[in-house]
Each structure stands twice: as structure tokens, then as C-alpha cells.
Amino acid sequence: MCIGFTRFLTFQFLVCFIIFTEMFSRYKKQETIGCCGIDCGLCPRFYTQGISTCPGCGGLHFSEKHPPCGILSCCAREKGLEVCSDCPDYPCKRFEPEKINIDSFVTHQRIFPNLDSIQKNGIEDFIVNQRIRMAVLQDLLLHYDEGRSKSFYCIACALLPIDHLREIQKQAHMLEKTMDAKEKSRIVKANALSVADSLKIELKLNKR
């Protein structure tokens, strides 16, 4: 009885330790939106397997996976905020480089629209819409990626309006299941590019 009770207490301690560790390994509640406004939940590295995967902004073990981020430190760690647009100093001088509109491996084009939307409508409303985009992206990656389309799908799901994304997804679901992955991917990307062209949206990273 004593040994069993000791084991029970040990197990309870381990559970509490794991929960405590995970709580303090995260800097913010919503890791899919960066403090800076980047759509972390629509970033290729968020869906990468292995050591190069990223848990999202301030996500679990973020400091082990990502270089130090001054914006995250200022916003989440020092001020306890989710995003920079919650701060009275937004937009501060840290955002000056973003006005040039240069992308990294993820699009930066939605930084200011995302933060302005959160400032106006609240982060809960933003997350609901982002989750829709993420669901479409996950479907495309799972069923219509021939192994070379991840970055394209991430950009498309970040930049195209939600109603158009759903239509692209609907058309993808109508494709023959026996069609090979390369052909499926070609058709889905062609549909996305056609929609983007009609909206004058460029589905590529701006690296200039």
C-alpha cells in the first residue's frame, strides 16, 4: 500500500512538473500569430518535421528552436502582451524595416493588416479567421502537395481572401482521387494563381 501510494505521488509530481515546464516554456498564448504580426501558423517551418521545425512565436521550447527575438522579448516577456498592436507605442521604431516590405522565408505582407485587425476587432476574432486559413493549408499540404508546394500554399493561404481559399479547396476536392500528386498539385496551384491574378495579388516572396 505504501509503495503504491509513493508511486502515485511520484506520478502526480511528474505530471505537475511537465505542466509547469510547458507553461513556462511558452511566452504567450497564441503562438500562431507573431508579436510582430507575422502569420506563424501559415509559415512553412510551422509544418516542417525535424530540427528545423518552429513552434510559432513564443511557442513551446521556442528559445531552443529560434534565434533570440527582440520584438518577442519586448512585447511578450517584458510587457506581457500577445501582439505589438496591444502596446500604446505601436507602431514603434522596431517596425521601420517592415515598411520596406521585404519577406524572409515567410511573407511579411500581412504584418500591418494583421496587427491593425487585432487592434480593431480583438485577437479572438483574428484567431478564428486564421484557424480557417490554417485548416485549408493543412488540407492542401496533406492531399495536394507533391513535395515542392509547401511554400506556395503557405503564401496563398496567407494572402488570398478566405472565401476564395474555400473555393480553391472545394475545386481541389472535386479532382479525381486516382490522379497522381504532381498533377493534383499543378491544377490546384494553377487555380490559386488564376484567383490571385484576378485580385492583383502576387503569390511569391518579395526578396528584393
- pLDDT reported for residue 23: 41
Alpha-carbon dihedral angle through residues 174, 204, 51, 73, given to the nearest 10 degrees? -120
In a domain, 120, yes or no: yes
Strands in the chain per DSSP E: none
In a domain, 133, yes or no: yes
Condensed to tens digits (0 to 9), the pLDDT of residues 29-56 reads: 899 999 999 999 999 999 998 888 888 8
Q: Is there a domain that residue 203 lies in?
A: no
The pLDDT assigned to 36 comes to 92
Banded pLDDT at 85 (limits 50, 70, 90): very high
Q: What range does the domain containing 189 cover?
A: 2-198
Nearest to 141 by CA among 133, 132, 150: 150
Percentage of residues in the chain with pLDDT exceeding 70?
Answer: 86
| Whole-number pLDDT of residue 16 | 42
For all residues of the chain together, what is the average pLDDT? Answer: 86
- Residue 157: inside a domain: yes
Between these two residues, 76 and 161, which has the higher pLDDT value?
161
Quick one: pLDDT at residue 136? 98
All cell numbers assigned to 107: 511573407
**Residue 207 forms part of a structural domain:** no
Q: Give residue 53's pLDDT.
A: 87
For residue 204, being part of any structural domain is answered with no
**Nearest by Cα to 105 from 152, 55, 138:** 152
The residues, any chain, with a CB within 8 Å of residue 19's CB and separated by 6 or more, are: none
| In a domain? residue 206 | no
Tell whether 208 is covered by a domain: no
- pLDDT recorded at residue 28: 84
Domain tally, the chain: 1
CA distances from 204 to 102, 160, 162, 201 (A): 11, 12, 18, 9
Entry pTM: 0.84
pLDDT at 208: 65
